[in-house]
Structure 1
Amino acid sequence: MYTPKHFEETRADVLHGLIRAYPFATLATHAAAGLTANHLPFELVDGVLHGHVARGNELAQLDGAEVLLIFQGPDGYISPNWYPSKHETGREVPTWNYAVVHVHGRLRVIDDAIWLRRLLETLTNHHEATQPKPWQVGDAPEEHIANLLRAIVGLEVAIDRIEGKFKLSQNHPTRNRAGAIAGLRQRDGDGDTELAEWMARQEESNL
């Protein structure tokens, strides 16, 4: 991934934070027919990523394969009209801000009903936590859960290498960054508020 120095993010807690906030990843690897990509939620547990797929998924046959997981954070269009410097010199152009984490590792396929059930309970408890009455795996009939567990396999990826690119206007002066944050908040489109918050946090961390 092309990453200019001012957009590089190396802090493990920040990278892990993006993965936890945006756990739905694109997993790319080589399969029998060539490059393939799957889109799956993962849970980060002690530096290791856990997920699952249907047995019919090609990933279930790729134990030991080298993989790349891409976790995409907030993103959005940045108008040059938001930069004070544009109104003074005209020398600004549009861009797209975003935050992304790439994880490199090897795939481990796990065929273990106990491991899988524990994973499903962890995932469910995590994502149901904000519901008024959280659903639990135990709410479904045991026979139904047992049948579903036989239809899936677990995936585990230990992180061999992790890289982050947080393109959040760090290459602009403070007043331009402030203008972009204000512009996003005023536009308030899909994901704009989240992107503005990430930019504001990045600004604070650079003070």
Structure 2
Amino acid sequence: MTKPELTLAHSRTAPLPKLRRVAVDAAQHDLLARLLAAAAPNAPSARMAATLLRQHGSLARVLCASDQRLKSVSHMTEDTIAHLRLTQAVAETITRKQLDDRPILGSWQTVMEYCRATMAHRDVEEVRVFYLDRKNHLIADEQHSRGTVDHAPFYPREVIKRALEMSASALVVVHNHPSGDPTPSTGDIALTRQLGEASKMMGLTLHDHIIITPSGEVSFRAEGLI
């Protein structure tokens, strides 16, 4: 499975990742400051951007942050938060559009990019399900559940029920680990096997279950867990 570009830097000499990280931080600060200034021209956008990036670590995490955490920053307004939400929605829509009318299994890099954009930087766990037709084209991409920092409820029966309602033939499940460690838990493995068995009984195919984080992902299929 394709890994995010960040992991490529780990195979180089020590100084290069540091230089690259500083450049990325500077670019993210500039872009975030511009977004904030567009929403609130009179606000200290550069200072706000620096504070947000220190708190969240990256622009992607800022855009995924909860309203409550964003409001903790001085000079943050409802209009500014709405502007950030719109920016995130545009980015997700552009990436999501690339999945339309294309077989999911033949567009795996695009799927991973979409999941990173929509889920990898969330501060709580979320479970999403891709429902596919017989040709593995996307029928629907739905949020199954949203939980806490280390848990999200998952109901295999509800997933199967929803798949049958929309006449889906196959599934791909994705959830994030806010901790940054994509290693599956024993609960993740057990529920995935339960979903796989239920899918077979109903004539459905569980193609994969992906755990995604900002720094990488784990495929249950690739790990032999399905």
TM norm structure 1: 0.24
TM norm structure 2: 0.22
- Which structure's relative contact order is higher, taking Cα pairs within 8 Å and 6+ residues apart? 1
In our comparison, the structure showing a higher alpha carbon Rg is: 1
